[in-house]
A = this chain, B = another copy of it.
Amino acid sequence: MRTKDFDKQQRIKRAMVRLILEEGISGASISKIAREADVSSATIYVYYNSKEEMLAEVFRECSHDTYLFLKRRLSESMSAAELIEAIVRGYYDYSVENEEIFSFVEQCSRCPTLSGNVCEEECYCGIFDLLHAFQSRGEIRNYSDVNLNALLFAPVRFLSMQHRIPEDSRKEHLSELVDILQTLLIC
């Protein structure tokens, strides 16, 4: 019984995220989500109070999910170069392997009615703790968190969005980006 419900909720989430990749936030209606998840639209209201809350909650979960994916690849015992490479490549890999979630988060974080309620960056605090450790050990330059964030994640995000550029070519750009960020951030 417990598993069954969980599965149903999971299907709802996935359906929503999938639909938003394909049709954008405005294209993801409750009834389409329900159809895609193979449940009644009334069932969605068993799990969420409103569409707004559902979006916010799944947005939060997806942001967290990205963070966990990244966190698993990092460790304090790495060198600074390894750390930066792991972050940049890890984030990129996530965006490719989880295109739906990635696009969903990107859209939500730009939507004024959603981004206000969810603090995407909060989720990344664990990664910044790690970066601080490297900074205090004098291995990574003392740039502000905001700029570290801006330099480590935003360019990758941009690269991931370039669907016009073929995968292979994007991979090469990524390697270049890793090099750039390593020379930039390592003391």
Contacts and interface: CB of A to CB of B under 8 A. Distances in A.
Interface of A: 21-27, 103, 106-107, 109-115, 119, 143-144, 146-147, 149-151, 153-159, 161-162, 164-165, 173, 176-177, 180, 183-184
Given A23-B112, A151-B155, 9 more contacts: A24-B26, A25-B111, A103-B112, A110-B161, A146-B159, A147-B173, A147-B180, A150-B154, A184-B184
A21 to B, nearest CB: 6
Given A114-B24, A150-B155, A150-B159, A180 B184 contact: yes
A22 B112 contact: yes
B162 A158 contact: no
A180 B25 CA distance: 36
Nearest to A25: B26
Given A103-B112, A147-B176, A158-B154, A24 B25 contact: yes
23 contacts: A23-B112, A23-B113, A24-B113, A25-B26, A25-B111, A26-B26, A26-B111, A103-B112, A106-B110, A107-B107, A107-B110, A110-B161, A119-B164, A143-B180, A146-B162, A146-B165, A147-B173, A149-B158, A150-B154, A150-B155, A150-B156, A150-B158, A184-B184
